[in-house]
Amino acid sequence: METIKNIMSRRSVRSWTKEPVAEEKKKIILEAAMNAPSAADARPWHFVTMDDPEIIGQFTAMGGTEMLAESTFMVLVCGEQAKEIYPGFWPQDCSCAAQNMQLAAHDLGVGCVWIAVHPLEEREKTFREILGIPDQITPFALLAMGMPAEKHAPEYRYDAARIHLNKW
């Protein structure tokens, strides 16, 4: 798929079939994540992958996450501040990795939705407890995926009123 077409047609998918995501697609999605830019190429990210329905099901009680029960593949993006070269940039770096995963998933026909974790302390705590995440690692964002059971038409979201040329 062409890059611009992929970006312009990507939509969040919150309903999936029971068909598992193929292992080769999972690997490509994670390769795309690790090919994201990061400040000073520090790559302060870690990824916890989940495909066990029992583990996935434990995250449906967080509020607004009931649809996770249908997901067949999830990736928790985590940040490690100790890996940073320029302190404070890990959230941007992890965001780039998460966006790359969303775009790769879409290109591969895998439906994906981003679930916010950081800076929501209760969600961070839930992920730490269930997945055994060490204290020096921060759960950042959850990407829930699966083979889509829904299809959304692309939306044109360009808004010229939000562009300021040379000054505000």
Residue 1 placed within a domain: no
Per-residue confidence (pLDDT) for residue 1, from 0 to 100: 58
The whole-angstrom distance between residue 142's C-alpha and the CA centroid of its chain comes to: 5
Task: Please say whether the beta carbons of 117 and 129 come within 8 A.
Answer: no
Residue 147 placed within a domain: yes
Residue 3 placed within a domain: no
> How far, in Å, CA of 147 to CA of 164, rounded?
39
Residue 166 placed within a domain: no
pLDDT in tens, 114-150: 999 999 999 999 999 999 999 999 999 999 999 999 9
Query: At 93, which CATH number?
Result: 3.40.109.10
For the chain, list residues with pLDDT below 70: 1
- What's the domain count of the chain? 1
Task: Please say whether the beta carbons of 124 and 134 come within 8 A.
Answer: no
Residue 2 placed within a domain: no
Residue 111 placed within a domain: yes
What's the whole-model pTM score? 0.96
Residue 45 placed within a domain: yes
Residue 160 placed within a domain: no
Q: Domain range for residue 44? A: 17-151
